[in-house]
Structure 1
């Protein structure tokens, strides 16, 4: 009887751990998952399965070990969710070595509520501390095993019936992605999400998938001729600023301009400025930002495309540039190592001629949680490299991307690097972000000043944008703060700024990151490139003023937009996932010129 009591306490403890995980997850999304019977069936089934070995191992250490491992698994997935809005993809577990570079960001994702998981383990140990764990008679063990078999078979059959009714696990899970975008993990547990990801990996290019992709592409608006002539620049420099959001621009807080350098540039002639670019990255964050910008594709459903699908075929800004200017060169410069997010593979897939990573720069200014090269020194060294004829030849054609780092969460830079300060009346995280944004603004200002001092850069277009938003689930409490609500934006917008642009434009409507690619194609004069992406250029007169977030939210103005157009934009996420996972372009498809 004592052993049986321990068994049920153990099952109950695990069950409530899974429920606690769902509660924490749902606090920041939706409680819809609790209305599905699968939510309770999966948790009871999993807890019962984990209890089976106890009948044979008969050791308190087994209970402690399993309970602790479950605690760790649930906590790290909640930490990941608070930034990436999804559970940890399978491939990312094998990239855990990169966490040594993100230690501060990891701890920044912890919450006091996470203590609930180990406390449940402690409570279980207290309740069972006097229980006898000696080996029981075979008859007693058989009774416990029969009970466990019932606890496993009943929910298993119920789950099987539900899943079969809806057409199988894959279809059942995918139905959630349409109406309950974030409910897959709380309903089917972390293990269920991993299994769905495994099923996704097995997608092969078939006539049905080909038809689905090309049906969507055939309905996508075709590019209309622009009402003006584009006088494309010979060169392009892209500054992809870490976690840089739009609301800091043209804003003063406590009488201090956050971004005085960029504010000044926005008033110049030949500037294109779009402040409302809805960020559309998913779990892979920065590398998803590069996918959106360089290929016009949306992130895949699960995991990092650079890890799951290396060496797939892409059309890109870089390849379009080299096709337009035969003999032109492309380069990417970053403070990170090549192994982070498989950047070395991305460089090959996108068509970079050169990738200059961490070893190519002198670490003379450390900033951020990883003590990476600060933006001021990084962009200064980028300027020095670009001043060489080898990397940026005079009279040639060059496209360069510079990926900054200092804006990485938790937004900490050394005291000597700070150029602005704010009172303690404001939330600390908000203050830190504005200080870092001011620092990045200064770095960009110094970089632009240097470029303009060199005659060889006169015919160079400079693109400045952020790779993604910066706050994740911490945005809401900052916006709800008495002072924060007048400062931070409730939306996840990053800016698009183009200096020395062939088109002068202030675009005040909402656009998506996926729209950056076709817009840059137009600005580069590469309008005849066969792949126009899944978005639309903001230079197109028919561009609709809304975007679909990774959580399937409709952001922007949908007045005059049909239900079919909204659904078409939502369907783009699945189509993009199919294009990437099935290596669609390797089959010689470009989806027609649009």
Structure 2
């Protein structure tokens, strides 16, 4: 009788427990799908991709929340709540990250978490009051648990739990099968995280990213000097001789590199409300070598990637930043090379020295000194967002620059023209915002003008100090400022639709090279940040033949008209290959053409990126000394 009386209670409790679990699954499933469509605004191309997007969060919700069913009865609902919150937070973190970077978080990016606390207004501007809705379902579940209306049974049947995981696995396999139809070899072609998220979902993407990260972390331990042979042979085959007229044109001169934060090339000669946005840079095109087909090659590391590219002629990683995750590696960087030739390499950056792990990485690359925030007087009036405003930055840097032992190799990293593009002093705004209705795009021109005025001031200070005539001055845009998320507003600015072709053209960043005694000219050479290391060294009269590099001298008459984007896209003189879309466009009119026309560029881009990643992940340059490959034992000496 006792058993008969208790049986309905057990059955009822089991139903309650599973009802709560299923409610958590359904709420997370529906929320994730809505977030994929609205928060991440994934670009779906057909009905099958829509179906994939519907089912992929269901398999993840069943699997991960299913893990909570193994918890003891008393803590089972708490376990389900904890897992639900973690998955909600992962989803939300990707949405916030995607709002600016048009990208998704990777495990290496998580190692850069300390950067987030230093972003100030830049990070806060990415968060919206309505974002609380992404946690509304969690609050509902929390209310149910706190009301104690759900009482889980002591032990769930193994068959019941097994059914949950079989369902999750079945849905996942169906997901992968459809994804492979949409993009064959999806899991071996990982240049584009947007494709992975679109066809696997955020949660499965993060599991896959974790597997990749684990795999990459073992590459160094397993690597040996033989792995460098293929890279060395390829690098040697790609070497281009310098222009005899430019080789050594700046021998013995100082080098002043200026990183122009978030500066895209469309700003040059652009007018807003009838006013030039960059009048100083516009004038600079007339008395310097100005490259108008120059591209950034950065990935998630953004400014730090640009620095890494320029100093090493190696690409940044497909996820995260070399600066944050590979600072212990051995490199053969420009600062180290010029130091061996009597130069004094230094960096000026009025921000925290640990941001992007710069203090450690600069030491690895061979810089003698890093003038970071403690060397500057930074207060509320002269700083905004990341730190010191550009005009004050250059002003305070000049005495330190003038006192350097010459010749020096110096790098200046500007800050003000950074998202969310704000100035906290109305008197510093010398141009009105644009009028697209998108604050990010509209204000971009205001801070770009401020940066332009700061650069003009810096050049005047260099001339007054006497350093101008004895220095090679190189200005480069480090990466894009306006992401693909703002294409609607950018269409108004450009007066035409931002197609995939136009989007790639917007990855152009300006490059100016002022060589003492030379007037310069507009250079239409297609190139990127990957090419600056050999270009600079050749200007200084230093040979690079035999070095391991993936760029070539921008002045070389032999160089190919070619550059690469971190997602596998490639730009040549005749064609543009859009990696994400896997489409080919003609440079002459921007129209789509047969994919086979872009295959040579696509293949070269993939090889360059793969071999460069091999060098960085395997720390292969520890096996490289004096232009030769050395063995494991020699590398330890």
TM range (shorter): 0.7 to 0.9
* Matches for 1:101-500 after TM superposition, within 5 Å: 101-110=118-127, 114=131, 116-122=133-139, 132-136=149-153, 138=154, 141-143=155-157, 145-153=158-166, 155-156=168-169, 174-177=187-190, 181-185=193-197, 187=200, 188-203=204-219, 204-206=222-224, 209-214=227-232, 216-217=234-235, 220-230=237-247, 231-233=249-251, 234-268=253-287, 271-323=288-340, 325=341, 327-363=342-378, 365-370=381-386, 372-388=387-403, 391=404, 393=405, 396-422=406-432, 425-427=435-437, 428-481=439-492, 483=493, 485=495, 490=503, 491-500=506-515
User: Once structures 1 and 2 are overlaid, which stretch shifts more, 314-323 or 349-358?
Assistant: 314-323
Verify the 8 A CA contact 2:615 2:621 in the aligned structure 1: yes
| Change over 3 Å in CA distance of 1:493–1:113 after alignment to 2 | farther
Verify the 8 A CA contact 1:243 1:466 in the aligned structure 2: yes
Distance between the aligned counterparts of 2:172 and 2:66, measured in 1? 15
Verify the 8 A CA contact 1:84 1:285 in the aligned structure 2: no
Unpaired runs of at least 5, structure 2: 1-14, 576-585, 587-596, 630-637
| Change over 3 Å in CA distance of 1:75–1:239 after alignment to 2 | same
Verify the 8 A CA contact 2:24 2:141 in the aligned structure 1: yes
What SS does structure 1 have at the residue aligned with 2:422? coil
Give 1:226 shift. Answer: 1.9
Give 1:190 shift. Answer: 2.1
Distance between the aligned counterparts of 1:221 and 1:487, measured in 2? 37
Give 1:404 shift. Answer: 0.9
Give 1:64 shift. Answer: 4.0
Deviations 1:359-406 (A, max 9, x none): 001115533324x11100101111121122xx1x4xx31111111111
Give 1:110 shift. Answer: 3.4
* Matches for 1:69-88 after TM superposition, within 5 Å: 69-88=86-105
Deviations 1:438-494 (A, max 9, x none): 11111111111111122344221111112211122333122133x564799741221
Distance between the aligned counterparts of 2:321 and 2:366, measured in 1? 19
- Aligned partner of 1:5 in structure 2 is 19
Q: What is the root-mean-square deviation in Å for CA atoms of aligned residues?
A: 3.5
Kindly tell me the number of residue pairs found equivalent between the two proteins.
572
Deviations 1:49-94 (A, max 9, x none): 3442466235655444433332222111222234445433334434
Structure 2 length as normaliser, TM-score?
0.80
Give 1:181 shift. Answer: 4.7
Deviations 1:226-262 (A, max 9, x none): 2525322411111112112222222222121111222
Deviations 1:331-377 (A, max 9, x none): 1010111111110111112111111100001115533324x111001
Give 1:558 shift. Answer: 3.3
Structure 1 length as normaliser, TM-score?
0.85
Verify the 8 A CA contact 2:336 2:366 in the aligned structure 1: yes
